[in-house]
Amino acid sequence: METDAPAELIKLDLTDVLNKETKITVDEIASNSQIIPLETNEHILIKQINKILLEHDQFFILHDNLCSVFNLNGQFIRRIGTNGQGPGEYTQITDLFIDDKGQIIFFDSASHQLFFHQSDGSFYSLFQNS
C-alpha cells in the first residue's frame, strides 16, 4: 500500500550523551575478544572481507565476491554458490543474509536477484526483482 503522507519525524536529544566523557580501556575490549585465525590454503585465500555472520556455530564470510563457511576454530568447511553467468550462478554478491529457517540468501547487485541456498549450501531458488 502506497501513501503520500509524510513520515513522522522523530527527534532525539543526544546533548547529555555527547557532553559526557566516556573512557574504555584496551583491557575492557580485549577481555571480551577472541582472535580466530582462518584457514588459508591454495583453495581458500581471502583478500578482503565484506561481511561476517555467525550462525549455528559457523562463520559465513562474504569476501572477494565469494561466500565461505568456517567453523568456530577457523577451519574452512565449504564455499557456497558459484560465480558465473549460468543458471543459479551469481555475478556480484553485495550482501549476505541468513533467515530464521537457516536459508542462506545472496543479493546480486549486478543482476538485482536474490539467490537462495539450503543450509547445506546447495542452490535451490532465485528471485528476480522486476
pLDDT at position 1 is: 46
pLDDT at position 39 is: 94
Residue 22: pLDDT over 50? yes
Whole-structure pTM value: 0.72
Residue appearing with cell numbers 577472541: 34
CA pair distance 114, 128, nearest whole angstrom: 7
Per-residue pLDDT band at 11 (split at 50, 70, 90) = low
- What is the percent of the chain where pLDDT is above 70? 75
Residue 102: pLDDT over 50? yes
Task: Select the more confidently predicted residue: 120 or 13.
Answer: 120
Residue 99: pLDDT over 80? yes
| Burial annotation 22-57 (CB, 10 A radius, 16+ → b, else e) | eeeeeeeeeeeeeeeebeeeeebeeeeeeeeeeeee
pLDDT at position 23 is: 66
Task: Select the more confidently predicted residue: 51 or 27.
Answer: 51
Question: Tell me: the pLDDT tens digits for 61-94?
Answer: 999 999 999 999 999 999 999 888 888 889 999 9
Residue 12: pLDDT over 90? no
